[in-house]
Structure 1
Amino acid sequence: MDPKEKFYRHFRDSVDALQDQIDQLTQLSSIGGERQDATDNILAGISKLQNEVADAAEFTPAYDRRQYSDAIKGLQDKLNETLAKFAPKTRFQFRRTGTDHIDMGAPENDPRLNPGSLSRRPRSPTTAPGAARSMAEENRDIVGDLPSTGKNYNEELAKPDLASIRKPSFSAAQSIDISDHDGLHIILPSSASRATAAGCLRNLKNCVIDLSIPTAQGAPFPGLILKDIDRCLIVAGRVNGPIHINDVTNSILVVVARQVRIHNCKNVDIYLHCASHPIIEDCSGMRFAPLPEYYVRDDDPSTSLFWDQVDDFKWLKTSQSPNWTTLSEAQRLSDEVWTKIVPGQPGIGVEKVLAKVGIPPK
């Protein structure tokens, strides 16, 4: 089937399913969080659809992308109208922008590379005071965007602290957004499982970041973006949708995701559990290994899946791409590293952890 036709059918089915879910909201009870859980699932579904439209931009013309954007906007409007019927008003709403049509394939609007890009337009003068923010704004963990809290997690993490390991709760945040840090060891506790929107790790150097605990027993993240990262060890937790890895160098990643897209990366080891072929583009020095046993769950269908079936979009020959290879068992990190070193120990700083996992010194 032609890729454009295949995506059109998938998009149409996804929109129909989301419309049905929105229609069913009126039949759900607010008691016990039933309606709120359904709303969160719809928000995650719309966010996933936006990412898929951006992914399909390489083979869909601008006119088709315009139609897709109109359909997504229709979903947002319908969700707003449905939620407006409930009391008290929910803050999970999309804001209309001053633009009639948005090209999801345009770089400035690509949600993979510019999280929250669709919300960075001036608020309409006619917007009523106290109107709800867009989903993209909700996806950013910024002071003022969090309900009933004045925390700015990135500012808080950047403050000097005697503890070598930071454990921000993110319990009041709707998404994980960790950015602009150097030399930190961050472990998210289980309270961060309330952040159910797609997350982003961005502009990080010489860090150890572990997101696995919130998704170990709870719901996985609907999507995740890793961008502009150097000399880091990142355990990305579980991602139910796509994970986009861009401009990462000299690092080690642990990834469990449905779809993995990797762009402009160099010298990165990826321990991977993936439900589809991982895709690399403009990359070199990539090495892949199966998910470490320490992170395997009983309900995982397989620990290997497609970890070693990488598609290199910049290598069209039938021979093996020179841009990636697999890690032999002897080259992979030991169970002791994952169980004792990565979680952190008293007196062991970030540089010692990075050295023990084999990341070269600065």
Structure 2
Amino acid sequence: MEISVCSATSSENGDVGSQRDLRLVPERLHRREQERQLEVERRKQKRQDQAVEEEQSDFFAVAFSRERAAVQELLEGESSAERLEEAAARLQGLQKLLNDGVRFLAAYDLRQGQEALTQLQASLAERRQELQPKKRFAFKARKKDSASVPRGGAAADAPATEGIAAPSLPSKAEGALGLSWACGFSHRDSQVLEMSADELSQRDVLLSELSGCTVRLYGNPNTLRLARARGCKVLCGPVTTSVFLEDCSGCVLAVACQQLRVHTTRDTRIFLQVTSRAIVEDCGGIRFAPYSWSYEGIDRDFEASGLDRSKNNWSDVDDFNWLARDVASPNWSILPEEEREIEWD
């Protein structure tokens, strides 16, 4: 008798379980249908995004090529102040076009565009130099005491002409930089180096082979390049176009510009104001903070540079070596607020 009761109970439990499974089937099917619909929507959105990016890339390629050819034509023709000013204005538009393309262009296309822009900026600087009138220098007639001249030639820091106190410059375009620069400092160790607004105005500045130096650039240069610097502090007024760092380490930089590119640089703090997105490549230990250097006349220099002081993308950085958008790059970071207080002077 007990066996009959147990069998009946088991049968009833089995029926209840079967009914529960039958009720769960529509729910599982419904969830699977929802997941399928979501996946369809994701794929559709991805195709739409790819189509938009391809359309934007095509537009960029046509516009960039057209403007680049226009600038080259202006620079290759007979030089005049008007033609060079038009070329400079078009270059700024070309830079803005490239800055806007950071959102959708591939890293290779960005690199190619920046290299083309750098070459055009260098050509513009050379043409500007050619238009400047030749200065007549008056050499000192008196003979120097041989004891006052270091072995191997003239004193490195003494100007060769009377009344001219120009900073030292590389005699040729240095190494892989491949550019002609108007002014700057080179091969200095543990010195305080300064340039005034009159010396800097719309000129291209190269700082190279510096160690333990403090450099203050009071004014509005056209471009700035810092190469092979170790343990230096570089403070610069607003730069009209681009700032390049290459092969630097342990430095502090304060700069405002349209575009910043940092290459093969390590353990460097950058206090930045930039109207586009900064770019780092082959770097490590780069830390960013807002631009905070100030000096008398900086408002005038910002006005001359054409930079929009209300627009600062100092924390928007693209790392060409880190393409994962959902994971932060390990090569750069934001400088904590408690570490941003610094004695500039």
Q: Could you list the runs of 4 or more consecutive aligned residues of structure 1 that deviate by over 6 angstroms after TM superposition?
A: 17-23, 46-53
Structure 2 segments unaligned to the other structure (5+ residues): 1-54, 139-152, 160-164, 169-179
Shift in Å, 1:232: 0.6
TM-score by length of 1: 0.54
CA distance in structure 2 between the partners assigned to 1:292 and 1:15 by the alignment: 38
Structure 1 segments unaligned to the other structure (5+ residues): 27-34, 69-103, 119-133, 162-166, 216-220, 342-362
CA distance in structure 2 between the partners assigned to 1:156 and 1:302 by the alignment: 44
**Is 1:290–1:303's contact at 8 Å kept on the other side of the alignment?**
no
**Is 1:184–1:206's contact at 8 Å kept on the other side of the alignment?**
yes
Shift in Å, 1:156: 9.0
**Is 1:209–1:234's contact at 8 Å kept on the other side of the alignment?**
yes
Identity of aligned residues (%): 20
Counting only pairs closer than 5 Å after superposition, residues 145-224 of structure 1 correspond to structure 2 as 147-150=134-137, 158-159=156-157, 168=166, 175-194=182-201, 196-211=202-217, 213-215=218-220, 221-224=221-224
Residue 6 of structure 1 pairs with residue 56 of structure 2? no
**Is 2:207–2:225's contact at 8 Å kept on the other side of the alignment?**
yes
**SS at the partner of 1:305?**
coil
1:58 pairs, out of 96, 103, 108, with 108
**Is 1:18–1:42's contact at 8 Å kept on the other side of the alignment?**
no
Cα pair distance change 1:41/1:197, threshold 3 Å: farther
Shift in Å, 1:282: 0.8
Q: Determine the structure 2 residue equivalent to 1:86.
A: none
Q: Which has the higher helix share?
A: 2
**SS at the partner of 2:63?**
helix
After superposition, what is the alpha-carbon deviation per residue over 1:281-326, rounded to whole angstroms, capped at 9, x for unaligned? 1111111000106267486644672111111111122211111111
After superposition, what is the alpha-carbon deviation per residue over 1:68-91, rounded to whole angstroms, capped at 9, x for unaligned? 9xxxxxxxxxxxxxxxxxxxxxxx
Counting only pairs closer than 5 Å after superposition, residues 283-362 of structure 1 correspond to structure 2 as 283-292=283-292, 294=294, 297=299, 301-302=308-309, 305-317=312-324, 318-334=326-342, 337-338=343-344, 341=345
Shift in Å, 1:10: 2.8
Counting only pairs closer than 5 Å after superposition, residues 129-140 of structure 1 correspond to structure 2 as 136=126
**SS at the partner of 2:337?**
coil
Cα pair distance change 1:150/1:285, threshold 3 Å: farther
CA distance in structure 2 between the partners assigned to 1:199 and 1:184 by the alignment: 18
**Is 2:71–2:91's contact at 8 Å kept on the other side of the alignment?**
no
**Is 1:197–1:223's contact at 8 Å kept on the other side of the alignment?**
yes
Shift in Å, 1:263: 0.7
Q: Determine the structure 1 residue equivalent to 2:279.
A: 279
CA distance in structure 1 between the partners assigned to 2:329 and 2:125 by the alignment: 39
After superposition, what is the alpha-carbon deviation per residue over 1:232-283, rounded to whole angstroms, capped at 9, x for unaligned? 1111322121212111110000111101111100000000000011011111
Counting only pairs closer than 5 Å after superposition, residues 24-43 of structure 1 correspond to structure 2 as 36=81, 38-42=82-86
After superposition, what is the alpha-carbon deviation per residue over 1:151-203, rounded to whole angstroms, capped at 9, x for unaligned? 9xxx9994379xxxxx7479xx9822322222221111232145x34322222
Which one has a bigger Cα radius of gyration? Answer: 2
**SS at the partner of 2:64?**
helix
CA distance in structure 1 between the partners assigned to 2:235 and 2:154 by the alignment: 21
CA distance in structure 2 between the partners assigned to 1:159 and 1:169 by the alignment: 8
TM-score by length of 2: 0.56
Q: Please tell me the residue identity of whatever aligns with 1:292.
A: S
Q: Please tell me the residue identity of whatever aligns with 1:319.
A: V
**SS at the partner of 2:340?**
coil
Cα pair distance change 1:266/1:20, threshold 3 Å: closer
Q: Determine the structure 2 residue equivalent to 1:256.
A: 256
Cα pair distance change 1:185/1:13, threshold 3 Å: same
**SS at the partner of 2:208?**
strand
Aligned residues: 245
Q: Determine the structure 2 residue equivalent to 1:245.
A: 245
Q: Please tell me the residue identity of whatever aligns with 1:232.
A: C
Shift in Å, 1:214: 2.4
CA distance in structure 1 between the partners assigned to 2:329 and 2:190 by the alignment: 34
CA distance in structure 1 between the partners assigned to 2:278 and 2:110 by the alignment: 21
Residue 236 of structure 1 pairs with residue 236 of structure 2? yes
Q: Let me know the Cα RMSD of the aligned residues.
A: 4.7
**Is 1:21–1:42's contact at 8 Å kept on the other side of the alignment?**
no
After superposition, what is the alpha-carbon deviation per residue over 1:95-122, rounded to whole angstroms, capped at 9, x for unaligned? xxxxxxxxx76xxx9749xx97x8xxxx
**SS at the partner of 1:248?**
coil
Shift in Å, 1:327: 1.4
Cα pair distance change 1:229/1:191, threshold 3 Å: same
**Is 1:273–1:303's contact at 8 Å kept on the other side of the alignment?**
no
